[in-house]
Amino acid sequence: MADELHRLTAHEARKLLSNREVSSVELTQAVLDRIAAVDDRLGAYLTVSDELALAQAADADTSLSNGGGGLLTGVPVSVKDNMCTKGIRTTCGSRMLETFVPPYDGHVISRLRDAGAVLIGKTNMDEFAMGSSVEHSAFKPTHNPWALDRVPGGSSGGSAAAIAADEAIIALGSDTGGSIRQPASLCGVVGLKPTYGRVSRYGLVAFGSSLDQIGPITKDVRDCALMLNVISGHDERDATSVEMDVPDFTEALTGDIKGLRVGVVDEYLPDDLDAGVRGVAEAALAELESLGASIERGVSLPNTKYALACYYIIAPSEASANLARYDGVKYGYSYQDGDSMWANMDGTRQHGFGDEVKRRIMLGTYTLSTGYYDAYYLKALKVRTLIRQEFDEAFERFDVLFGLVSPTPAFRLGEKTDDPFEMYLSDVFTLPTNIAGIPGMSLPAGFVEQDGQLLPVGIQLLAKPFDEASILRTAYAYEQATSWHTERPPG
Ligand code: GLN
């Protein structure tokens, strides 16, 4: 078994660790060996914190043998490189932060430490989380473990690829417009964006502050519930983190969805969809129905058609404000060859940011500028309210809304890099969720074959604010009845 330890889920690992059948040092070493064996071709990690991981593993073993231990004691976790880790480089996939070593831990990192987790490394991502393929990482692309010439999705593609290829036991990503769910779908793993406010953003490098949310990327639904238990809850350092009781999310894993009301959203299953992808969604619906859920088709959320435009005003507007802090003065990359302070600031931004980030800053600066603020930004906020209301009305009739995560399976590296709009379209089904602040999950539901390659497809489950439990309940029942979550890529 020792050479297969990296394949464990967190709940399986936790049990073996508690029974002292394996040690955290063994498990951590197995995951590090796995990274050493496959990451050259996958590129999921930007930093592997092996020394720290082994030291934390040894501590975990001590605490376990003393009968102690938290929810994740001794379990190796990987974290997207936009969450601040004290003493470990946090690059955000950008030259701007290439050498930035945070002096503090983000809230979720403190929570992971409190739960006893072992931090194995920081995963690759699109620069400042702007993108859907990790091709906007300033350092290297990440390859999809199912098909090496294809993207893993983004922006949390490093975490999703790491979980799919067993280069970590459990992981964290962040989702501003789909960045947990879309890569989870393309890599065949579970990804959950919690309700806005459920998880503190303290120490998450800000992109679109009213949209950003941290969440689990895991091998199965039980691990997703476990990780959500670890990271959820109020934190006074994030004013938008909500003060409300956090349920034990594993209690939602009953396997029973009899009478659950599922609404199938037309807009997330459009007519021109690839037949194979549609087939996956249809089969999943049939499965949910046979498990006793009541499925209603033909639910329409007509304002979905405005979501892309609305998102690409709000997110860049917030990004342009958030990214103004990278001026080369306080921290991060600093250009020094100019002949004035202003020239150095220009140089810092010119050389420190990649093209996509510059595009977003310019878009956002434009939409916030005098004369255009009302026409664009304010209008987008009004559309946001409409999108929210549409969801509120739908959730009066349904416990869960159903759709696809992404219109296509993993696309080829380089296929969309020349056309930003094509890239933006990868997220048409995931953006509305962030705009409304509601929770959403991508759940592995099958494969399509393209050019002889087997590519994963995820279904999307949405619920009303703070009702992650209904999503988990549905997903767990489905997962128990199917075996998609046990499939692994070759190699
Ligand atoms: N792909 C979307 C974007 O580029 C969403 C990214 C994200 O969720 N961080 O903005």
| Burial of 421 (C-beta count, 10 Å sphere; 0-12/13-18/19+) | exposed
Asked if residue 171 lies in contact with residue 123, where contact means CB atoms within 8 angstroms, the answer is yes
Of 283, 282, 275, 285, the closest CA to residue 448 belongs to: 275
The CA-atom distances, in angstroms, between 406 and each of 219, 286, 454 are 19, 20, 16
Tokens, residue 159:
């975490």
Q: Does domain 1-491 have CATH number 3.40.50.2300?
A: no
What sign does the dihedral 195-198-203-208 (CA atoms) show? positive
Is the Cβ–Cβ distance between 253 and 225 less than 8 Å?
yes
Mutate to test the pocket of ligand 1, among 128, 176, 192, 212 (most ligand atoms within 8 A of CB): 176
Are 163 and 9 contacting, i.e. CB atoms less than 8 angstroms apart? Answer: no
Q: Give the pLDDT of residue 2.
A: 57
**179, 200, 241, 406: which is the annotated catalytic residue?**
179
Residues having CB closer than 6 A to ligand 1 are: 129-132, 155, 175-179, 207, 315, 427
- pLDDT for the residue 3: 65
Best residue among 126, 192, 201 to mutate for probing ligand 1's pocket (most ligand atoms within 8 Å of CB) is 126
How many angstroms is it from 118 CA to the middle of ligand 1?
A: 28
Does residue 80 have an active-site annotation?
yes
Q: Find all residues with CB under 8 Å of 351, minimum gap 6, and list them.
A: 95, 333, 335
Q: What residues contact residue 452 under an 8 Å CB cut-off, 6+ apart? A: none
* Mean pLDDT in consecutive groups of 10 residues from the start of the chain, 491 residues: 86 97 98 98 98 98 91 98 98 98 98 98 98 98 98 98 98 98 98 98 98 98 98 97 96 98 96 93 98 98 97 98 95 95 96 98 96 94 98 98 97 94 92 98 98 97 98 98 95 83
Beta bridge partners of 204: 83
Taking CA atoms only, the protein residue closest to ligand 1 atom 10 is: 130
Contacts of 431 (CB under 8 A, 6+ apart): 177, 178, 307, 308, 310, 311
Distance 431 CA to ligand 1 centre (A): 8
Please name every residue paired with 457 in a beta bridge, in sequence order, or none if there are none. Answer: 446
Element (H, E) at 180: none
